[in-house]
């Protein structure tokens, strides 16, 4: 067993802002009914220009406090015995090591397949390896821009912008942690976010993939966008590039179906 702590009090409020059922809509597990567990708190402050801010800004740009406990997770599976998948997402789930570790024990007992979405900031050697790491590294095209309109409607000024940029870049592209994560856990795919136009960002993405040394079939390019309108701009560009360059493309049908609604 790992050296990570476990959760002892299942009634204690945890840094979880959402627990809900959905259909996985990104990457190699797309189409599977799943229970989504969304943690709050993030190591990054992503802004993608026309693609907008992080689509779960309420865990990162304007983070909310957690409201759920571990028994709420158990209840979600008891109420939906047909679901044997878990999507652990955020925010940055790896900020909460004990929670992630406890979930690996719970999933092992229940025969549940865990996918964890992470940007790769931290490596966690959990008691049981996670089934699938859905890695979305943050490249230069994700850095906040001073003057942009924040999700709450305010304008990002220089003082706050400098603070956000520093926080965003602190653990961005932590290659050592990423390598350890991909080596330890059972499987992975990589989901670089791209708008189909930014050549500087594309070059950075390709350099990273070369450093990590992964096969093309592990890479799913994800079009930038937090709304139907912004996704429709990047979809055809990414579609054509992936077709012509031998990678894979991940769709984002939850945004097409529900836009920025929560718990989808």
For 196-244, how does the pLDDT look when each residue is reduced to its tens digit (9 = 90+)?
Answer: 999 999 999 999 999 999 999 999 999 988 788 889 999 999 999 999 9
Please identify which residue in the block is written with the tokens 């719970």: 106
d(CA 83, CA 34): 6
Q: Is residue 4 part of a domain?
A: no
Say yes or no to pLDDT of 158 above 90: yes
Strand 220-223 to strand 113-118: parallel, antiparallel, or no bridges (unpaired)? unpaired
Domain count, the chain: 1
Cα 39 off chain centre by: 10
Residue 72 in this model has a pLDDT that exceeds 80:
yes
DSSP H helical segments within the chain, as ranges? 70-78, 97-110, 158-170, 175-184, 199-212, 228-245, 253-258
Within a domain: 6: no
pTM for this entry: 0.92
Structure tokens at 73: 């997770």
What is the bridge-based pairing of β-strands 188-190 and 248-249? unpaired
CA dist 146 → 22, 45, 63, 155, 165 (Å): 35, 12, 19, 8, 9
Give 95-128 pLDDT, tens digit per residue.
999 999 999 999 999 999 999 999 999 999 999 9
Quick one: which of 214, 213, 64, 60 has its CA closest to 138? 60
Residue 247 placed within a domain: yes
Q: How do residues 57-68 score in pLDDT, each as one tens digit? A: 999 999 999 999
Which of 42-56, 140-154, 181-195 has the weakest average pLDDT? 42-56
In contact, 67 and 16? CB cutoff 8 Å = yes
pLDDT of residue 255: 82
Q: Is residue 55 part of a domain?
A: yes
Identify whether 159 is part of a domain: yes
Q: For residue 35, is pLDDT > 80? A: yes
Structure tokens at 215: 């096969």
The whole-number average pLDDT for the span 164-176 is: 95
Evaluate whether residue 263 is within a structural domain. Answer: no
Question: Is residue 46 domain-resident?
Answer: yes
- Per-residue pLDDT of 4-13, as tens digits, reads 999 999 999 9
128-132-137-142 Cα dihedral, nearest 10 degrees: -110
Mean pLDDT of the chain: 94
Q: Residue 250's domain spans which residues?
A: 16-258
- Sort strands 16-23 and 33-39 into parallel, antiparallel or unpaired: antiparallel
Task: Choose the weakest-confidence range: 1-5, 11-15, 41-45, 183-187.
Answer: 1-5
CATH number at residue 46: 3.20.20.70
Q: At residue 264, does pLDDT exceed 70?
A: no
Angle between helices 175-184 and 199-212 (to 10 degrees): 50
Closest CA to 126 of 152, 103, 149, 93: 103
For residue 69, tell me if it sits in a domain: yes
User: Is residue 13 within 8 Å of residue 67, measured between CB atoms?
Assistant: yes
Distance of alpha carbon 158 from alpha carbon 162, whole angstroms: 6
């Amino acid at each position: 067993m790992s050296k990570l702590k476990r959760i002892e009090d299942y009634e204690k409020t945890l840094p979880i802002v959402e627990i809900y059922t959905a259909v996985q809509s990104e990457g190699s597990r797309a189409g599977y009914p799943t229970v989504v567990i969304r943690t709050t708190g993030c190591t990054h402050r992503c802004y993608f220009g026309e693609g907008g801010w992080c689509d779960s800004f309420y865990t990162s740009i304007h983070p909310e406090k957690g409201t759920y406990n571990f028994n709420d997770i158990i209840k979600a599976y008891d109420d939906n015995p047909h679901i044997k998948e878990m999507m652990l997402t955020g925010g940055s789930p790896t900020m909460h090591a004990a929670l992630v570790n406890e979930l690996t024990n719970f999933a092992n007992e229940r025969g549940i397949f865990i996918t964890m979405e992470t940007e790769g900031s931290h490596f966690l050697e959990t008691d049981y390896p996670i089934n699938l790491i859905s890695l979305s590294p943050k490249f230069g095209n994700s850095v906040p821009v001073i003057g942009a309109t924040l999700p709450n409607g305010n304008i990002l000024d220089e003082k706050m912008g400098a603070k956000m940029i520093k926080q965003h870049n602190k653990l961005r592209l932590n290659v050592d942690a990423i390598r350890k994560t991909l080596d330890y856990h059972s499987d992975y795919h990589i989901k670089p976010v791209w708008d189909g136009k930014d050549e500087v960002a594309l070059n950075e993405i390709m350099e990273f993939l070369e450093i990590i040394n992964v096969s093309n079939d592990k890479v799913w390019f994800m079009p930038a966008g937090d709304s139907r309108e912004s996704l429709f701009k990047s979809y055809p560009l990414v579609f054509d590039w992936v077709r012509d360059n031998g990678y894979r493309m991940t769709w984002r049908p939850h945004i097409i179906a529900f836009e920025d609604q929560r718990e989808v």
